[in-house]
Structure 1
Amino acid sequence: MECGLSPIVGFRFSLYPMADDFVSVIKGALEKTDTSNVWMHTDDVSTVIRGKQIHVFNVAKAIALHAAKTGKHIALSGTFSAGCPGDTAGDVYLNRSEEIANTDATTQYVSSQFALYPMNNPEYMEIIYREVNRAKEQGVFNESMHYASGIHGDIHEVFAFYEKAFSNARSEEHKHLVMTVSMSINSPTHGGL
Structure 2
Amino acid sequence: MSDDNAALAGCSFSIHPMSDNFVELITKAIDKTDTSKTWTQTDKVSTIVRGRMAHVLDVSQSVLAHTAQSGKHVAFHATYSVGCPGDTKGHSYMAESDELMNISANKRLSLDVAAKFALYPMDGGDYMDTIYEQIENMKSFGVKVTPTHYETRLDGNSHDIFKGLHSVFQKTKEAGSNHTVMTVSISANSPT
> Percent identical across equivalent pairs?
41
**CA-CA distance at 1:143 after TM superposition:** 1.5
Gaps of 5+ in 1: none
CA contact (8 A) 2:51 2:91 kept: yes
CA contact (8 A) 1:10 1:82 kept: yes
The partner residue of 2:133 within 130, 133, 142 is 130
What pairs with 1:92-131 in structure 2 (closer than 5 Å)? Answer: 92-102=92-102, 103-104=104-105, 105-106=107-108, 107-121=110-124, 123-131=126-134
Q: Secondary structure at the match of 1:130?
A: helix
Q: Secondary structure at the match of 2:123?
A: coil
Superposition CA RMSD, Å:
1.7
- The residue aligned with 1:160 is 163
How many aligned residue pairs are there? 186
**CA-CA distance at 1:174 after TM superposition:** 2.7
Distance 2:6 2:85 in 1: 9
**CA-CA distance at 1:44 after TM superposition:** 1.2
The partner residue of 2:183 within 177, 180, 183 is 180
CA contact (8 A) 1:37 1:96 kept: yes
- Return the TM-score normalized by structure 1: 0.91
- The residue aligned with 1:58 is 58
| Alignment CA distance shift 1:140-1:88 (3 Å) | same
The C-alpha deviation readout for 1:167-192, integer Å capped at 9, x for no partner, is 01114843100000000000012xxx
Q: Is residue 48 from structure 1 mapped to residue 51 from structure 2 by the alignment?
A: no
The C-alpha deviation readout for 1:64-121, integer Å capped at 9, x for no partner, is 1001111110000010001111322111111211111112122311110000000134
CA contact (8 A) 2:114 2:155 kept: yes
CA contact (8 A) 2:121 2:127 kept: yes
- The residue aligned with 2:16 is 16
Distance 1:172 1:157 in 2: 22
Gaps of 5+ in 2: none
The C-alpha deviation readout for 1:143-166, integer Å capped at 9, x for no partner, is 111000011211110000000000
**CA-CA distance at 1:122 after TM superposition:** 5.5
CA contact (8 A) 2:121 2:172 kept: yes
Distance 2:116 2:42 in 1: 24
Distance 1:173 1:57 in 2: 21
Q: Which amino acid aligns with 1:113?
A: K
Distance 2:123 2:62 in 1: 32
